[in-house]
Amino acid sequence: MARVAMAMSGGVDSSVAAALLKEQGHEVIGLHMKLYHGPENESRQKSCCSLDEAIDARSACHRLDIPFYVLDYQKEFRETVIDYFINEYSNGQTPNPCVMCNKKIKSDLLLKKVDELDCEFLATGHYARVYNNPENGRPQLARPQDLRKDQTYFLHGIPADELPRLMFPLAEIIKPEVRKIAGKLNLSAAKKPDSQEICFVPKDYRTFLKQEMKTAPVPGEFISLSGDVLGEHAGLPFYTIGQRRGLGLSDTTPYYVVKIDKDKNRIVLGKEDDLYSPAIQVSGVNWVSIQAPEKPIRVSAKLRYAHHGAAATVFPEPGNQVRVEFDSPERSVTPGQAAVFYQDDILLGGGRIENSP
């Protein structure tokens, strides 16, 4: 059996994951990351960053009789996740803070702490799986048993050489069973709601940006695809591709945000048909489960967490970039989000969506 560091968020998933590891005979050490507690350490449900979560994580470790440590990563979280979130919106992009957090905080920083504690593995409560390819013995990142809770999209940035050190104890379990196990163990998180996607944004992200941005967003022009001025926008950070509501404009058919032009501080509006893209450019691609391909490959491309996945061909390009051509044009492709590539249940890799060519 191994010595395993378990990332304890305070939620039901990580609590049960820790219990399963201990039941299997592993030596488990609970690690809770103090990331962001908001104004005056506010108490918020559905947030993995709230003070309540730290208390629940400690309670779970006490219940399971495993050591518990708190790691203060507030400075690093501010610099690598929150500042990134604000800067991306300021530049007319739509960020994905959960991807950045898993890559920079939960992978990079946490694995260094795992080494310091002489642990062989880092375990998390993510719904994902490490699959060892029988043909070449290579570890691959794969979807879990519970496809409705699949979180592999957020994990695509994990370096391939770190994958063998990761454990996902919930890989073979569906969420209702996780809650049942938590109930049997009398864990305080048994009936706790799932955490929200952006843990440090309590309500509307626009309100958060107004509070956090050092300089106020500058209003600019709404223009049509032909260049006609249609009205005035409130500032680039408050809009995203595909947005329909809150534009303050009316026509016989709705307007949508189809492009954000940072250089000219303009937002281009179009109709629904204008939202579709036949291809995209993706930068900073991390190939977590395979070697970087040298020839075009067929994939299912997932363009956001809730996306169904689109049949596409990935064309490798220099500079760790790829061009993705869809079999059918895709709606509301959003620069700043992640494009993640799958073949069946295996997550091959993924990167950052740039402006559509």
Kindly state whether residues 34 and 178 are assigned to the same domain: yes
Contact yes or no for 4/27 (Cβ under 8 A): yes
| 107 & 20 share domain | yes
How much is the pLDDT for 345? 97
Residue 116: is it exposed, middle or buried by C-beta count within 10 angstroms (0-12/13-18/19+)?
exposed
Task: Using the predicted structure, report yes or no on whether residue 30 has a pLDDT greater than 60.
Answer: yes
Supply the CATH number for residue 228's domain: 2.30.30.280
Residue 263, in any domain of the structure = yes
To the nearest whole percent, how much of the chain has pLDDT over 70?
Answer: 95
Residue 33 sits in which domain range? Answer: 3-125+169-184
Q: 295-347: per-residue pLDDT in tens? A: 999 999 999 999 999 999 999 999 999 999 999 999 999 999 999 999 999 99
> What is the average pLDDT across 126-151?
95
What single letter denotes the amino acid at residue 12?
Answer: V
Tokens 């070449």 sit on residue: 136
Q: What is the pLDDT of residue 191?
A: 81
How high is the pLDDT of residue 193? 80
Residue 115: which CATH number? 3.40.50.620
Q: Give yes or no: residues 309 and 264 share one domain.
A: no
Residue 69 CB burial class (10 angstroms; 0-12, 13-18, ≥19): middle
Q: How far is it, in rounded angstroms, from Cα 89 to Cα 208?
A: 11
Strands 346-353 and 338-343: antiparallel
What does DSSP assign to residue 203?
S
* The last residue of a domain, from among 270, 300, 335: 270
Please state the separation of Cα 77 from the chain's center in Å: 14
Catalytic residues: 101, 199
Mean pLDDT of the region 110-115: 91
* Mean pLDDT of all residues belonging to the chain: 92
State whether 37 and 107 are in the same domain: yes
Q: How many domains does the chain have?
A: 3
Phi/psi of residue 31, nearest 5 degrees: -120, 120
**Model pLDDT, residue 144:** 98
Kindly report, residue by residue over 31-74, the tens digit of the pLDDT.
999 998 665 445 445 455 555 788 899 999 999 999 999 999 99
Given a cut of 70, whether residue 107 has pLDDT beyond it is yes
Task: Tell whether 147 is covered by a domain.
Answer: no
- The answer to whether residue 100 sits within a structural domain is yes
**Residue 178 and residue 90 share a domain:** yes
DSSP symbol at 97: H
Q: Which of 230, 248, 270 is a domain's end point?
A: 270
* Percent of the chain scoring above 90 in pLDDT: 80
pLDDT the model gives residue 201: 85
What was the pLDDT predicted at 39? 55
Task: Indicate which CATH number applies to the domain containing 346.
Answer: 2.40.30.10
b/e burial code for range 221-252 (CB count within 10 A of at least 16 → b): bbbeeeeeebeebbbbbbbbbebeeebeeeee
- In a shared domain, residues 39 and 109: yes
Q: How do residues 205-261 score in pLDDT, each as one tens digit?
A: 888 998 899 889 999 999 999 999 999 999 999 999 999 999 999 899 999 999 999
Q: Does residue 189 form part of some domain?
A: no
Both 115 and 252 in a single domain? Answer: no
Does residue 212 fall inside a structural domain?
no
- Please indicate, yes or no, if residue 10 is contained in any of the structural domains: yes
Tell me what pLDDT residue 41 has.
Answer: 46
Task: Return the pLDDT at 273.
Answer: 96
Does some domain include residue 92? yes
- Look at residue 54 in the predicted model and tell me its pLDDT: 87
163 domain-assigned: no
- Three-state DSSP state, 157: coil
Domain boundary among the residues 142, 160, 184 is at: 184
pLDDT tens-digit readout, 272-297: 999 999 999 999 999 999 999 999 99
Residue 219, judged by CB atoms within 10 A of its CB (0-12, 13-18, 19+), counts as exposed
167 close to 21: Cβ distance less than 8 angstroms:
yes
In this model, does residue 155 exceed pLDDT 90? yes
